[in-house]
């Protein structure tokens, strides 16, 4: 039976998100059916700072990844 697993991070932590997903995939032995994701719209930060990958006045956006999979063995 297919199941779903969600992973969440910010755009500033994409390397950690990638590592978390790869670790889970390797350790679970799951058969991946589909991977999809979404990045939330950015909001302006009140102070003049730079944030995220764009080094702009926007806060880092939330990134949500979903993996549809079949558990190991079935």
Reply yes or no on whether the pLDDT at 51 is more than 70: no
What is the structure's pLDDT at 54? 53
In whole angstroms, give the CA distance from residue 30 to residue 7: 15
Secondary element (H or E) of residue 22: helix 14-28
What is the structure's pLDDT at 58? 66
Residue scoring higher pLDDT (33 or 55):
33
Q: Is the pTM of this model over 0.95?
A: no
Reply yes or no on whether the pLDDT at 55 is more than 70: no
pLDDT tens digits for range 14-47: 999 999 999 999 999 999 999 999 998 776 656 6
Residue scoring higher pLDDT (36 or 49):
36
């Amino acid at each position: 039976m297919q199941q779903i697993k969600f992973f969440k991070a910010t755009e500033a932590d994409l390397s950690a998100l990638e590592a978390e997903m790869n670790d889970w995939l390797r350790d679970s032995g799951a058969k991946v059916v589909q991977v999809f994701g979404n990045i939330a719209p950015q909001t302006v930060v009140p102070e003049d700072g730079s944030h995220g990958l764009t080094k702009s006045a926007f806060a880092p956006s939330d990134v949500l990844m979903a993996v549809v999979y079949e558990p190991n063995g079935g």
